[in-house]
Amino acid sequence: MKIEVLGTGCAKCKKAKELVEKAVEETGVDAQIVKVENIDDILSYGVMVTPAIVVDGEVKIAGKIPELDTIKEWLSH
C-alpha cells in the first residue's frame, strides 16, 4: 500500500502525516508513506487545497486533517 501526504510543509500538513504514521503503526499494515511537497505533483491529483491524503492513487481527503479512525478505515480496505 502506498500512502501519499500532499502538502507544502504547513502545520496542518505535518499533522496529517503524523496521523497517517500513527494509523499505520497502530493497524500494522504494510504501507509506504511518502510526503509530496512539489506543487506540480500535488496539482496532478487535482488537489487545490492541502493537506490531502492519497491511498494507492485515490485521493481520500483534501483541505483538512482527517480523524485517526478515518485513516484506519481507509487502511483496512
Number of helices and strands (H, E) in the chain?
3, 4
Q: How many domains does the chain have?
A: 1
Whether residue 9 is predicted with pLDDT greater than 90 in this model: the reply is no
Which residue out of 1, 10, 43, 48 is catalytically annotated?
Answer: 10
60 neighbors 16 (Cβ within 8 angstroms): no
CATH number assigned to the domain comprising residue 51: 3.40.30.10
Cell of 77: 480496505
Tens digit of pLDDT for each residue in 20-75?
999 999 999 999 999 999 999 999 999 999 999 999 999 999 999 999 999 999 99
State how far the Cα of 3 lies from the Cα of 44, in Å rounded to an integer.
16
Residue 13 bears catalytic tag: yes
Which residue out of 3, 5, 13, 36 is catalytically annotated?
Answer: 13
Cβ neighbours of residue 44 closer than 8 Å, sequence gap 6 or more = none
Which residue segment(s) compose the domain that 17 sits in? 2-75
Give the per-residue pLDDT at 77: 79
